[in-house]
Amino acid sequence: MKKRSSLQKCSYHLILLFSLCQTLQAAEQATISASPDSPPPCVASPEPPPDLLRSEVYKGMPFQPSEESRYILKYGILRVHVGYGFLRVQAPTKYAVAVSKKDDKWIEESRWHRVFAAEAFTGDWYRMIFAGHDHLQSFSRPWDSGVTKFYISQDEEKPFVRRYHAEKWLDFNHVNCQVSERVVDHKKKKEKTEVHFLQPGAIDALGALYKLRTFNFELNKTERFMVYTSEKNWWLEATPLAVEEVKTSIGTFKAHKLAVKSYLGKELQQRGRLFVWIAMEHPNRIMVKVEGEVTFGSVYLEIDRFTPGKAL
């Protein structure tokens, strides 16, 4: 079966929203040495997950429930304003995870999870070129940031082209090293399910944005963590290059400029550059700007609204 292009899979203006999707595209275009029929051996952590209280889920994090950031989405050399993107932190939610094994069967119990959400849509004038409204949500384990559940809804349309409306649900089993994926194409009225290999502890693309805000960055010291997207497990590396003043419509921030790269194994995947600015001295370590190059041009994100969350 012919697979959808990485542009379609990742979603046009989710690329604009995250720009980190550039690294996801590159990873998706690469090949993995192990075939789907012979995935790497499953090596899961033998330690049972902690049973945290609801009040401990976001404890000590620079982001708290009800936080919302809005970004202006710009595209191309002229930085044309094409739409808006939102990142939101939601209240903790309980979800079942494997906690112990008995008679070769895993026993599941509910554990509190962090919940992240995103929304992106094109502006009214840009709808003549491309119209879309997409949503994301992910459940993240508070003890290691690993993803447990992920959802994406894409509703997009180009003039004179068939509308695309699809939903995808992914469930992550870190002890069996598996991702169960269900995709529904509402326009074609088709549904498919697949199972893929998961590197235990991997983070999803949305959770990765919040993970970047948890590091105590030092100049030229690289931080890295595993991310799962589009059937692949890859490394995301972030290296602080400088501390710069970034002017935005909501103020001027002293921010660490991070060079972000993606690797499959030891092989660098992305072809263009990607930079993320995080205001490390702000109490919430806001992501204030993103600039990157993707296969169809340059993309920019600039924060223009921020509402801090409240601790539980």
HSE of 151, CA atoms in CB hemisphere, 13 A: 9
Mean of pLDDT values over 137-157? 92
Q: Is residue 174 part of a domain?
A: no
Whether 131 maps to a domain, the answer reads yes
The Cα–Cα gap between 216 and 278 comes to: 11
pLDDT band at residue 100 under the 50/70/90 scheme: confident
Residue 269 lies in a domain: yes
Q: Determine, yes or no, domain membership for 2.
A: no
Amino acid at 16: L
62: closest CA among 94, 87, 79? 87
CATH number at residue 101: 2.40.360
Query: How far apart (Å, rounded) are the C-alpha atoms in residues 296 and 58?
Result: 37
- Amino acid 142 reads P
189 part of a folded domain: no
Show the domain range for 296: 8-32+43-163+202-307
Give the model's confidence band at 74: pLDDT under 50 very low, under 70 low, under 90 confident, else very high.
confident
Global confidence as pTM: 0.86
For residue 304 the two structure tokens come to 């223009």
In a domain, 196, yes or no: no
Least reliable range by pLDDT among 41-45, 57-61, 188-192, 193-197: 41-45
Backbone angles phi, psi at 206, to 5 degrees: -70, -45
The number of folded domains in the chain is 1
**Is pLDDT of 111 > 50?**
yes
